[in-house]
Amino acid sequence: MANESKPVKITETVLRDGHQSLAATRTRINDMIPVLEQLDDIGYNALEAWGGATFDTCLRFLNEDPWERLRTLKKYLKKTRVQMLLRGQNILGYNHYADDVVEEFVDRAVNNGMDIIRIFDALNDVRNLECAMKAAKKSGAHVQGALVYTISPYHKPENFLQVAKDLVQLGADSICIKDMSGLLAPYDAYALVSTLKSNLSVPIEVHTHYTSGMGSMTYLKAIEAGADIIDTALSPFAMGTSQPATESMIAALRGTHYDTGLSTDKLAPIAVHFKQVKKSLEKDFNINTNIPIDPEVLKFQIPGGMMSNMLNQLKEQGAADKYPELLEEMPRVRAELGYPPLVTPTSQMVGTMSVLNVKLGERYKLVPEEIRDMVRGKYGRLPGPIDPAVQQKIIGDEPIITYRPADDIKPQLAMFKQQLTEAGYPNASREDILSYALFPKVAIEFFKKVAAGETTPSPVVTKAPTAPNIATTQMQAIAANVPGTAITAPMHGKVVSIKVKDGEIVRKGQVVLVIEAMKMENVITAPADGVVKAINTSEGAKVTTGHVMMVI
Ligand code: CO
């Protein structure tokens, strides 16, 4: 321990990750306003308050304009910097956007009050951060480059150091270790932070989750290794799958070289307020905020939320008994696909691929388009090599791209503006155009509510939606009456589009239908040459496993 004091700084997550982790991101701006000035007085490094889920939830469930929320936060937070989380070229969504949209978004975010932008890419491919980082630099924001933490043979401290060096080269003002699943063990944190600190001069921030029960220990060892900033959540929104508690970390460091200098007395009344907020969210949105830790995540290195998500998918597919197989399958799929870190959207992709493999009995028999694109390199460079046999099965002899994926995307901003004009919003603001670009359907619904006067400051409280209930559709046994080859649904899902017409000649391998299952689109191809004799479903219809959708 060094002799001179080195106060640890704290980024408070109660306005973003805290309620995103424990309360489905439902905290409303009206729940925050009463304590914003008090929070501003604490002396935090920053208040994290914005990100993909916050933005989406504002529009979708809270009838709040996320841009207005940002401006309101900024009005009250006069001393403390506001921070957001940005998914690189994905901005706040799940797909790559053109550079002009990324630049416009960053410009508007900073212009509306954003001070710190934490930028990450699910694969740690820095090429996917370049555009957003340049734009953030230009707008004058503090640019933080984040390393997505995961465990694999390709994620050793020296690998992370290389990514961090690249980010600093691109202008990162600080580096964050983003441990979204609570996998970072205390002594691994010590080793990783030590490696970064001895090679870089920018501040190092650590972001972990309590999911596996190690969060506070991880912070303590990271601090001993020289971490400058830690992310914590005020106690009512701490622990469980959220961050370690702010008050506890302040108390743990008090009187040491690392003393934060922050007052837990000042935090107490704010915590009382958020306790009430939590209660009201539970009631208003019917959510359970009591999420226990789950050390099992360490065994399979799978994020906690993902495990329950996958189990639900299996249940929906009527294959809950295959859960033990699924737990073995997920790490296998991840290894074969080059060890992508499991964070949105790669976690969903690897999870769905594993569910399909287990459910269908044949591995990679049905491959979602997103997985094909990942193998093609369209999400960026994978950390490790892809298993050659698996690659062959998924994309055959197609080449893997070696350039920055967004180089393929033409400017999109004018197109989004045009679409909004056609939808009846010719005077949409620059911010509205971005809301639409990121969440098209949700934004249009929101604009309708604005026109009807149903938005904040008097938020219309809506109940949290329950998981979509896959209705059992009537399985007309037309296959029995019409001779030919039946194309049956390989899983429960929804028909997104039908690519052929009655009477049309189809070739073996031709795409006939697209089914959406588990949030991914799956292409169904003709098993043989033939003529479409009957189509027994429609676009938008729900289908269950085995349902005869078409006869050829
Ligand atoms: Co987080």
| Distance (Å) from CA 394 to ligand 1 centroid | 32
Q: How far apart are CA 403 and CA 400, in angstroms?
A: 9
Show pLDDT as tens, one digit a residue, over the chain (552 residues).
456 799 999 999 999 999 999 999 999 999 999 999 999 999 999 999 999 999 999 999 999 999 999 999 999 999 999 999 999 999 998 889 999 999 999 999 999 999 999 999 999 999 999 999 999 999 999 999 999 999 999 999 999 999 999 999 999 999 999 999 999 999 999 999 999 999 999 999 999 999 999 999 999 999 999 999 999 999 999 999 999 999 999 999 999 999 999 999 999 999 999 999 999 999 999 999 988 888 888 877 776 667 777 888 888 888 889 999 998 999 999 999 999 998 878 888 999 999 999 999 999 999 999 999 999 999 999 999 999 999 999 999 999 999 999 999 999 999 999 999 999 999 999 999 999 999 999 999 999 999 998 886 543 333 333 333 323 222 233 333 445 777 777 777 778 888 888 878 777 777 887 777 766 677 787 777 777 877 888 887 887 777 777 878
Tokens 């967004």 correspond to: 406
| Distance (Å) from CA 176 to ligand 1 centroid | 11
Q: How far apart are CA 39 and CA 19, in angstroms?
A: 16
Q: How far apart are CA 552 and CA 507, in angstroms?
A: 10
Residues 6+ apart with CB under 8 A from 382: 123, 337, 338, 339, 340, 374
**Which of helix, strand or coil describes residue 167?**
helix
| Distance (Å) from CA 1 to ligand 1 centroid | 29
Helices 346-360, 304-316: axis angle to 10 degrees equals: 40
| Distance (Å) from CA 219 to ligand 1 centroid | 14
Cis ω on the peptide bond leading into residue 457 (within 30° of 0)? Answer: yes
**Per-residue DSSP letters for 480-491?**
HHS-S-EEE-SS
| Distance (Å) from CA 118 to ligand 1 centroid | 11
Cα–Cα distances (Å) from 313 to 30, 307, 323, 450, 530, in that order, read 35, 10, 10, 35, 33
Q: Which two tokens stand for residue 234?
A: 């005020």
What's the whole-model pTM score? 0.84
| Distance (Å) from CA 547 to ligand 1 centroid | 40
Tokens 């269908």 correspond to: 360
| Distance (Å) from CA 363 to ligand 1 centroid | 32
Per residue in 346-382, pLDDT (tens digit) is 888 999 999 999 999 999 999 999 999 999 999 999 9
Residue type present at position 56: D
| Distance (Å) from CA 182 to ligand 1 centroid | 9
| Distance (Å) from CA 322 to ligand 1 centroid | 30
| Distance (Å) from CA 340 to ligand 1 centroid | 18
- 3-state percent helix, strand, coil for the chain, nearest multiple of 5: 45, 15, 45
| Distance (Å) from CA 111 to ligand 1 centroid | 25
| Distance (Å) from CA 264 to ligand 1 centroid | 23
Residues 524 and 513: beta-carbon distance below 8 Å = yes
Cα–Cα distances (Å) from 474 to 80, 420, 478, 536, 545, in that order, read 58, 38, 11, 10, 12
* CATH 2.40.50.100 given to domain 472-551: yes
| Distance (Å) from CA 533 to ligand 1 centroid | 51
**Which of helix, strand or coil describes residue 362?**
coil
Q: How far apart are CA 32 and CA 21, in angstroms?
A: 17
| Distance (Å) from CA 536 to ligand 1 centroid | 44
pLDDT score, position 455? 81
**Which of helix, strand or coil describes residue 493?**
strand
| Distance (Å) from CA 120 to ligand 1 centroid | 12
| Distance (Å) from CA 346 to ligand 1 centroid | 15
Residue type present at position 490: P
pLDDT score, position 548? 78
| Distance (Å) from CA 239 to ligand 1 centroid | 12
Q: Where are the alpha helices (DSSP H) in 323-429?
A: 323-336, 346-360, 369-376, 388-395, 413-422
pLDDT score, position 78? 97
